Amino acid sequence: MIEVINEKCVGCGACIRACAYDAIKIEDKLAIIDADKCVLCGACVSACPFEAILLRKLSSEAINKSEFSGIWVFAEQREGSIAPVSFELLGKGRELAEELEVELSAVLFGHEVEGLASELIAHGADQVFLVDDPALKHFRDERYSKALTGLAQKYKPSIILAGATVIGRSFIPRVAIHLHTGLTADCTGLAIDPETGNLQQTRPAFGGNIMATILTANHRPQMATVRHKVMNPLPRDDNRNGIVIQEQINFDLDEDETQWLGFEKEKTTLVNITEANLIVAGGRGLKDGKNFAMIEELAESLDGAVGASRAAVDAEWIPYSHQVGQTGKTVKPNIYISIGISGAIQHLAGMSSADYIIAINKDPDAPIFKVADLGIVGDLFEIVPKLTKRIKELRA
């Protein structure tokens, strides 16, 4: 609860300047707080020179953090293939585990997936918690959350990491709720606080305008989902040794809220942008969805993938699966060719890690040129067809 002590408030406005959420106004020389806008951050409390704002927080039962140890990585798999982001998390998890001097574990769910455990060990895991059950053959929120919650309650890891994929974003928040702990979503950086040993979880905030570092100081486990292509996997080492711990979860009496109907793959011949080494991306400058044919032709000539800005996706010129940016996918190709994209900070958050960036835009002041290694100022409708023709000639 937050309240203004009228007897102390003089309406100086210091709290208004401190509030980032426009939740305070002055009426009749008194501060009024809009409860619908207030997020209880406490900035106004610190800013008030008259101690006229009081923030009351519910006390929580302290936990014994020494009972929690180890780092877990949820090893997402589909149809017997482990998601690449899981290997990236094992690479980062290995670094964090060595710094904390704890074990790194992978958690694997599915049916007839025992053979995947050796892959996880080869990529850095000390041990693999395996739940192999027909009930987990296909992803279901309630079943996956029950299984991970049960294992976490039994073994008490200090940190749980998962990919910020469709699956991870779907069920990991349920697990955090069941475990009464916090969750930082869509992280782009992880580190250990040398003083406290807490996990520093960094992610874009305020529309990508700042990077926020978040701590789960008073609860365990510390949980985070991490974007694909922002961390590096370890080289595979088949000489590594590890153990596999098989666990069972009883789903017999569960009343499922959902039913598995089937999985329909996207009907496209285009390359998956998260795995591509070269991406050609189009934006609002294409003016019409039919002009994405130019982007697709150039990408095909280079054996690359097709990406898009949010503006192009919102205009329904291309499916969401091609969106690059803070609200889309994070990519890390060797070469990223931006065509008709201005370069809003939200888009840059998803592609600025590319090794080499080429930008084509008619606006010489477009923000994309600030991150581009090579910039071409001109009409994309003249440049792209010529570029595609020349590449095809060279590769003929």
pLDDT for residue 261? 85
Whole-prediction pTM value? 0.73
Do domains 65-246 and 273-395 share one topology? The answer is yes
Q: Is 65-246 a CATH 3.40.50.620 domain?
A: yes
Do the strands 278-282 and 335-339 form a parallel or antiparallel pair, or are they unpaired?
Answer: parallel
Residues of the chain with pLDDT under 70: 58-62, 206-209, 266-271
Angle between helices 380-395 and 292-301 (to 10 degrees): 20
Q: Where are the domains of the chain?
A: 2-55, 65-246, 273-395
By the 8 A CB rule, do 171 and 145 touch? yes
- Rounded to 5 degrees, what angle do the CA atoms 346, 283, 317 make? 115
Query: Two tokens at 117?
Result: 């455990």
SS3 of 331, please? coil
The per-residue pLDDT for 61 is 64
CATH no. for 273-395:
3.40.50.1220
The model's pLDDT over 204-225, given as tens digits with 9 standing for 90+, comes to: 776 656 788 999 999 999 999 9
pLDDT at 286: 95
Report the alpha-carbon distance of residue 239 to residue 231 in Å, rounded: 23
In CATH, which of 3.40.309.10, 3.90.1530.10, 3.30.70.20, 3.90.1640.30 is domain 2-55?
3.30.70.20
pLDDT for 276 equals 87
C-alpha 193/C-alpha 15 separation (Å) is 31
Q: Encoding tokens for residue 36?
A: 């619908």
Give the span between the Cα atoms of 155 and 148, in whole angstroms: 11
Look up tokens 């049916």; give the residue.
Answer: 111
Please state, as a whole number, how many other Cβ atoms lie within 10 Å of the Cβ of residue 120.
28
Name the DSSP letter for residue 323. Answer: B
Cis peptide bond N-terminal to 333, omega within 30: no
Using DSSP, state whether 388 is helix, strand or coil: helix
Ramachandran area for residue 216 (φ above 0: left; ψ -120 to 50: alpha; else beta): beta
Q: Which DSSP string do the residues of 271-293 spell out, in sequence order?
A: PPGGG-SEEEEE-GGG-SGGGHH
